[in-house]
Amino acid sequence: MTKWRCTVCGYIYNPDEGDPESGVKPGTPFEELTDDWICPICGATKDQFERVE
Amino acid sequence: MKPRKIKEDVYWVGAIDWDRRLFDELIPLPDGTSYNAYLVKGDEKTALIDTVDPTMADVLIDNLKQLGVKNIDYVVANHAEQDHSGALPQVLRQYPDAKVVVTAKCKNLLMNMLLIHQNRIMTVEDGESLSLGGKTLEFIHAPWVHWPETMFAYLREDGILFTCDLFGSHFATSDLYVTDEAAVYEAAKRYYAEIMMPFRKVIERNLEKIKDLQINMVAPSHGPLYDKPEFILEAYRDWIYAPPKNIVVLPYVSMHGSTKKMVEYFVGALVERGLTVKQFNLAKTDIGKLAIALVDAATIVVGSPTVLAGPHPNVVYAVYLANALRPKLKFASIIGSYGWGGRMVEQITGMLSNLKVELLEPVVIKGFPKEESFRALDRLADQILNKHKEQKLIK
Whether B327 contacts chain A with CB within 8 A = no
Whether A14 contacts chain B with CB within 8 A = no
Chain segment B184-193, per-residue pLDDT in tens: 999 999 999 9
Report which of B342, B360, B353 is spatially closest to residue B319, judged by C-alpha positions: B353
Whether A5 contacts chain B with CB within 8 A = no
Tell whether the model's pLDDT for residue B165 goes beyond 90: yes
B207-210: long-range contacts, CB 8 A cutoff, minimum separation 24: B207/B233, B207/B236, B207/B237, B207/B240, B209/B140, B209/B142, B210/B140, B210/B152, B210/B154, B210/B161
d(CA B241, CA B200): 9
The beta-carbon neighbor of A43 closest among B104, B105, B144 is B144
- pTM, two decimal places: 0.95
Q: How would residue B380 be classed by pLDDT, with cut points 50, 70 and 90?
A: very high
**Which DSSP category does B368 fall into?**
S
d(CA A1, CA A13): 11
Interface contacts (A, B; CB < 8 Å) = 23
B window 110-129, beta carbon within 8 A of A: none
Whether A50 contacts chain B with CB within 8 A = no
A37 three-state secondary structure: coil
Give the burial string for B182-209 (b: 16+ CB within 10 Å, else e).
eebebbbbbbbbbbbbbbbbbbebbbee
Give the mutation candidate from B106, B201, B320 for the A interface (greatest A CB count, under 10 A): B201
Helix (H) / strand (E) containing B337: strand B331-338
Whether A53 contacts chain B with CB within 8 A = no
- Give A45's contacts in chain B (Cβ within 8 Å): 201-202
**Residue B317: how many other CB atoms lie within 10 Å:** 15
d(CA A44, CA B152): 20
- Give A21's contacts in chain B (Cβ within 8 Å): 104-105, 108
Tell whether the model's pLDDT for residue B1 goes beyond 80: no
pLDDT at B324: 96
Chain segment B211-228, per-residue pLDDT in tens: 999 999 999 999 999 999
Residue A43 C-alpha, separation from nearest chain B C-alpha, in angstroms:
6
The beta-carbon neighbor of B202 closest among A8, A40, A45 is A45
Chain segment B234-267, per-residue pLDDT in tens: 999 999 999 999 999 999 999 999 999 999 999 9
B7 three-state secondary structure: strand
Whether A38 contacts chain B with CB within 8 A = yes
Query: What value of ipTM does the predicted structure carry?
Result: 0.88
Report which of B84, B82, B85, B76 is spatially closest to residue B103, judged by C-alpha positions: B76
Chain segment B14-68, per-residue pLDDT in tens: 999 999 999 998 999 999 999 999 999 999 999 999 999 999 999 999 999 999 9
Whether B202 contacts chain A with CB within 8 A = yes
The beta-carbon neighbor of B148 closest among A8, A40, A45 is A40
Chain segment A1-53, per-residue pLDDT in tens: 899 999 999 999 999 999 998 899 999 999 999 998 999 999 999 999 999 98
Say if residue A51 is exposed, middle or buried (CB neighbours under 10 Å; 0-12, 13-18, 19+): exposed
d(CA B255, CA B235): 38
Residue A13 C-alpha, separation from nearest chain B C-alpha, in angstroms:
16
